[in-house]
Structure 1
């Protein structure tokens, strides 16, 4: 909680509650007198029944009837991914809900994929030449804030939030190379090799499975659709990959700080 208070020190009117996804005893106090729940799935949590069923049950018992869930684009089509299971749980508990379904996060480049980018100047994934739609998390948060503030106008609907570019990782590597002024390479490997590579790197089994599926499954699907929901909700144009990489290039160009 102290970390959160330091992070949001410029917002003195905020109130804080202790909450732990994996500690059900923290739920009821955290949910007390709350009327709307913004829900997301931490990457390390894959057991949806164990964690999210008691969480949603507690929310319902606490009088919460509105849920805004940060899902993923295409969640409604794939029962393999955990977001699909959470969406169905929310519906099972009969919450009034909004499902926000964003496309592929640009911030994966500055988090999950960052160590290899910094240390090897490369990106290795099982994604082949398939195109992903890219969205800045800042854009997602802006759109979601509008949905929360005007919940009753959008309730019981889902909204895909996408950027305006579909690009594969080879194209992304070329943008990196242009912005950073040095060669960034992309290597595509088969999903089994990728999974075991992640395990050797110390990635936990559940998360290794999630990132393997995340980057391989799109090869079996149609190219992502581009929506204009972000523009409709905010009146603004989404961030481009070029703009994002320019903005974040200091994180990507200083290996001595890793």
Structure 2
């Protein structure tokens, strides 16, 4: 039986991956977590203590693992120092296949940490699957939940379009990659690219209040986010994402979700209807 270790198991994609694998009979799953007891209560599966920056956790975490579902912790941007040692330990322990949650465009932008991880993995000779995901729809229901509740969405994306993808679709592709041993790179997007004016229009259609899109300058956005959250790394990532959209670099649409899952990717209106309760 293929034994899969899932990192980022309580995250946006990871917990859906755990759910999808747990329901199969040919694959066993263990969730890797810095807080394994809490993860076990939440995920209802086997858990193991694991921390990318703590080598003492590597041996037990990777023992008997065939496939690794890899999510880079957002706080770890120094790949060679903070991520590679764990991956090297996984290789040494006998892991044969790595399914890596990357970002769309990583193959064209060597500056993002995901590109450096892809490059390192490609040099190992392992079987690899790179899931290059577009901007998650779930960011609307998590990061931007409160302001949408208040009737506005203020991001510096201008009139740029984004090919939002449902994290549930990304997880479903990951599960299929694990089950079928799929390798290669997949650019995962939704069925269309929409601008943020359209996002707010769709939110307004479903919710019991209107949502207005405002497009602040990047400087006003940075200042407002800093007043709300002093996490500079997180703010920097958000600014980069929305600048990419503003520049028209986030609107690529692919058919990779459909080709793997034999069904169309979830559209934004369906996602908003499915998750309506988080904004009400």
- Do these two structures clear the TM 0.5 threshold for a shared fold by scoring above it? yes
Is 1:145 matched up with 2:175? yes
Is 1:18 matched up with 2:49? yes
Structure 1 partner of 2:257: 230
Q: Is the 8 A contact 2:37 2:47 kept in 1?
A: no
Structure 1 partner of 2:151: 121
Q: Is the 8 A contact 2:100 2:128 kept in 1?
A: yes
Is 1:197 matched up with 2:224? yes
Q: Is the 8 A contact 1:124 1:189 kept in 2?
A: yes
Relative contact order (C-alpha < 8 Å, sep 6+): which is higher?
1
Structure 2 partner of 1:43: 74
Structure 1 partner of 2:39: 4
The count of aligned residue pairs is: 245
Structure 2 partner of 1:207: 234
Greater share of helix: 1
Larger mean Cα displacement after TM superposition, 126-135 or 184-193: 184-193
SS in 2 for 1:61: helix
CA distance, structure 2, for counterparts of residue 147 and residue 123 of structure 1? 35
Cα shift readout 1:163-210 (whole Å, capped 9, x = no counterpart): 102101111001111111322011112223322322222231111111
**Cα–Cα, structure 1 residues 115 and 44, in superposed 2: closer, same or farther, change >3 Å?**
farther
Return the match for 2:165 from 132, 135, 146: 135
**Cα–Cα, structure 1 residues 231 and 211, in superposed 2: closer, same or farther, change >3 Å?**
same
CA distance, structure 2, for counterparts of residue 26 and residue 212 of structure 1? 34
RMSD: 1.7
SS in 1 for 2:199: helix
Uncovered stretches (5+) of structure 1, i.e. residues with no partner: 254-258
Cα shift readout 1:148-172 (whole Å, capped 9, x = no counterpart): 1111xx32x1011221021011110
TM-score by length of 2: 0.82
SS in 2 for 1:104: coil
Larger mean Cα displacement after TM superposition, 220-229 or 73-82: 220-229
SS in 2 for 1:196: helix
Q: Is the 8 A contact 2:53 2:83 kept in 1?
A: no
CA distance, structure 2, for counterparts of residue 28 and residue 99 of structure 1? 25
SS in 1 for 2:46: coil
SS in 2 for 1:134: coil
Q: Is the 8 A contact 1:57 1:93 kept in 2?
A: no
Structure 1 partner of 2:204: 177
Per-residue deviation, 1:114 = 1.2
Which 4+ stretches in 1 moved above 6 angstroms?
none
CA distance, structure 2, for counterparts of residue 176 and residue 252 of structure 1? 9
TM-score by length of 1: 0.88
Q: Is the 8 A contact 2:76 2:83 kept in 1?
A: no
Per-residue deviation, 1:5 = 2.0
Structure 2 partner of 1:256: none
Q: Is the 8 A contact 2:59 2:93 kept in 1?
A: yes
SS in 1 for 2:74: coil
